Structure 1
Amino acid sequence: MVHKILCAVDGTKHSDKAVELAAELSTKLGSALTIATVNVLIGGARSGQIYAHDDADVQKTLADAKKIAEAAGAKNAQIVVLRSREASAGIVAYAEQDDFDIIVTGTGDKHGLSRLVLGSVAADIAGKAHCTVMIAR
């Protein structure tokens, strides 16, 4: 049984598709939906903690995702900001800590060299998660 769904978002059109899928699953299965974004820590020990995005941008990303989820039929979706050095690690740790049954995430159009250099958060999540991972395209 699927009780809890975690949807990882980053404010892109790819993550909007993930939100739509997660909302549909949540509605059909009667599962709780949590939408999360990771504000990646980019500052070092000497410079103090510096995050990739300011709080206003992070909150806008989550508010926009919640609107998409509600338009797709989700009721009472929760939102959460995670902070981590790595987006995939933050999502995977939170999903395991809070015992989510499914993680839904989107993926971009990375090919060739950009895929090798930049990696893929979705692939990292799928490879490390303790639960089922759905990748929306």
Structure 2
Amino acid sequence: MSNKILCPTDGSDHAKVGFDRAVELAKQSGARLTVCVVNIAHGGARGPTINHWKEGEVAELLGAAEAAGKAAGLVDVGTVELVAREAAPAIIAYAEQNAYDHIVMGTGDKRGVKRLVLGSVAAEVAGQAPCTVTVAR
């Protein structure tokens, strides 16, 4: 049984599948659901760091997720923005530092050579997370 569920999203259709599954699991177990957006930081070194999403875009995405969770009947829904250079390590570190016992995320339909070439945040999280990971399609 989960007590704290972390659900990364980027607003894509496959992330929505993960979110819907996270809401289901949170309702079943009475767990707290936290939806996170990893805002990838580009640049730095000799130039400015530029985040992938602007502040208003992140707020809109997280606000919509929180509202959807509450509309689905969840009472305990939170949101967080993680700023990092890579998504998977940020998700894993946040889950570990904040004692999440379950990560639920969606994944695109990457198979075969495409998956090897493109990589997969979900695969990296599933392979390295300190807790249970559910990958929804």
Residue aligning to 1:2: 2
Structure 2 unmatched runs, 5+: none
1:36-86 Cα deviation digits (max 9, x unpaired): 010011113111211111111111221222233223322230000001110
Aligned residue pairs total 137
Describe how 1:105-120 pairs up with structure 2 within 5 A. Answer: 105-120=105-120
Q: CA deviation at 1:113?
A: 4.1
Q: CA deviation at 1:123?
A: 0.3
Q: Alignment identity in percent?
A: 47
Q: Which runs of 4+ in 1 moved over 3 A?
A: 111-114
- The RMSD of aligned alpha carbons is 1.4
TM-score (norm 1): 0.92
TM-score (norm 2): 0.92
Give the Cα separation in 2 of the matches to 1:125 and 1:118: 15
Task: Read off the aligned partner of 1:71 and give its amino acid letter.
Answer: A
Describe how 1:1-137 pairs up with structure 2 within 5 A. Answer: 1-137=1-137
30-39 vs 52-61, greater mean Cα deviation:
52-61
1:16, 1:65 within 8 Å by CA — same for their partners in 2? no
98-107 vs 113-122, greater mean Cα deviation:
113-122
Secondary structure of residue in 1 paired with 2:82: strand
Structure 1 unmatched runs, 5+: none
Higher strand proportion: 2
